[in-house]
Structure 1
Amino acid sequence: MLNLHNEKADILVIPKFELRKALQVTTHLAIGAHQDDLEFMASEGILTCFDAHDKWFTGITVTDGRGSPRIGPYSNYNDEQMRELRRQEQRNAAEIGQYAAQIQLDYKSSEVKGSNRKPAVDDLVQILKEMHPRTIYLHQPADKHDTHVAVMMASIEALRSSKDHHIPDRIIGCEGWRGLDWLADDDKVPLDSSKHPALFQKLTQQFDSQISGGKRYDLAVQGRLRANATFFDSYSPDQGELIAWGIDLKPLVLDPSLSMENFIFGHLNQLTQDVTERIRKFS
């Protein structure tokens, strides 16, 4: 059904579906750069769909994970061993989270960040044309991780190319290697991850190659989400325990002439204006 570019691309489908059906029933889709990105940035979608009869989550992981840092029990792993380990960790998370499907495209980061990302874009277009998701989670333009931004750019290109087939209700850029608490409050898209806290914790703990390998993403992400919930409004009680912030990327798909730079600079200019006005108020 799918003719993906990489022979070793990996597809896991929940046992009750065949791949075509799994993609057709998907209501929430996340496209991430690395194994573990989906669970850390798109937890709202995973937790919303878990045990729901009318909602299904599908994840797409674009790169192969071979370049991740490693110390401790994984310090002697070569790149190929790390690739296989991270692939299995992602499959484990998908099974625990009851994803309709988990697709790993198996690109090297250098391939996605290079001048020719067309094969990755073509793969994404092919998958998107089999789906009608209501919500899509992506990385966000102000992320400071090059691979995250490259995958986000490829995803927007694919969504623009497939928009005659379907445009989701929500296309959300998610926090990763930079938070979004700096957005104007009216521009923040709240993503509540308070549902199923035990499941959320279990999902984040599946990526031991990263946790024992020196990166406590499991603690850091929950800390960020708790901080977001508390520091949003100083005059009202918290509206949830774990809140991620998103940014609405749909304008980039609806208007292909809108450049990524102009889009994100518009939001940054609002931050500059907000800070300037508050300082001047008390000068």
Structure 2
Amino acid sequence: MNANTDFQLFHEKADLYLPQGDDVSAALKKTTHLGVGAHQDDLEFMALHGILECRDNEDQWFGGVTCTNGAGSARQGPFANHTDEQMQVVRAEEQREAARLGQYAYMAQLDYPSSEIKDTAAAENLVNDLVNLLERGSVKVVYTHNLADKHSTHIAVAAALIKAIRKLPKEKRPEKLIGCEVWRDLDWMSDDKKVVMDLGKDADFAAKLNGLFKSQITGKRYDLAVEGRRRANATFFDSHSTDEFERVCFGMDLTPLIENDDLDPAAAVLPLIEEFRKSVEAEVAKYFKA
């Protein structure tokens, strides 16, 4: 189902899917938690906390935004000979299936090529699409890629999102912006700086959600890697106590960037890295002093 007839997005093939059967206005308005990711499956891997917060909860609703068209992914097995165009169709339907299972209020797939998102001039169209989605919602919490992620498209999406939120009046902005783990985890951050998101004990739902992305986990087991990271985060979070959590994802608090438009995004990340560098230096130096 493409509801784009009622709500215009930049790309003609952009898809606004409404799994609850709402009209566009109602779906956008009731969304309280929003995930904005680069690729199909990013939301389910990085923003599970928001999905779980809203699932089976009539007072909170998760909305999803996938920015790219999914054309350039690795492929193997039954997908080995798929063209880029065929992969786009497969990945778009996998993402819709995830929206149905996750009970999303809406799932927007914006259909941008990665090259367009990484071109700062062309990416203004993405910024405007995100503004259009955000300003019609009641979003309190936004999940996106962390600014230390090693995938350049992920950083480009996070940058476009920050620019979009900064275009909103202060009273329309989300209360929280959290940068999440995909192509680089955040265990290196000081514990007091981490946003610690408890994912509960039931891994079955996450396994079902991740398992929907067959085109991506055939030959590259993202699903197992993501779940392993969640369990590792929980166990290695504290070396001097028994596990408080069973499954955890870490986030980087990017909220200051949407509260202060003059704050340089690099300034939100580099102090965290410097703090990590100093902690390593100090710990090693203790045992090599003359």
TM-score normalised by structure 1 residue count = 0.97
Shift of 1:196: 4.3
| CA shift digits 1:38-80 (9 cap, x unpaired) | 0000001111111112111000000000100111111100000
1:4 aligns with 2:9: yes
Distance 2:19 2:241 in 1: 42
State the AA in 1 paired with 2:255: K
Shift of 1:279: 1.7
State the AA in 2 paired with 1:10: D
| CA shift digits 1:122-176 (9 cap, x unpaired) | 0001111001211100101100001101001001100111143522221100001
Distance 2:118 2:21 in 1: 36
Residue 161 of structure 1 corresponds to 167
Contact 2:201–2:246, Cα closer than 8 Å, also in 1: no
State the AA in 2 paired with 1:120: L
Alignment of 1:173-188 (within 5 A): 173-188=179-194
Residue 123 of structure 1 corresponds to 129
Aligned residues: 282
Contact 1:47–1:200, Cα closer than 8 Å, also in 2: no
Distance 1:195 1:32 in 2: 25
Contact 1:163–1:253, Cα closer than 8 Å, also in 2: no
Matched residue SS, 2:172: coil
Distance 1:173 1:113 in 2: 18
| CA shift digits 1:98-122 (9 cap, x unpaired) | 1010000000011001132100000
1:137 aligns with 2:158: no
TM-score normalised by structure 2 residue count = 0.94
| CA shift digits 1:14-61 (9 cap, x unpaired) | 334212111111111000000000000000111111111211100000
Structure 2 counterpart of 1:98, from 70, 80, 103 = 103
Residue 178 of structure 2 corresponds to 172
Residue 210 of structure 1 corresponds to 216
State the AA in 2 paired with 1:252: L
Contact 2:141–2:176, Cα closer than 8 Å, also in 1: yes
Contact 1:181–1:245, Cα closer than 8 Å, also in 2: yes
Distance 1:202 1:107 in 2: 27
- Root-mean-square deviation (CA, aligned residues, Å) is 1.2
Residue 148 of structure 1 corresponds to 154
Distance 1:264 1:245 in 2: 15
* Structure 1 unaligned residues grouped into runs of 5+: none
Residue 224 of structure 1 corresponds to 229
Alignment of 1:1-283 (within 5 A): 1-116=6-121, 117-194=123-200, 196-212=202-218, 214-283=219-288
* Structure 2 unaligned residues grouped into runs of 5+: 1-5
Among the aligned pairs, what percent are the same residue? Answer: 47
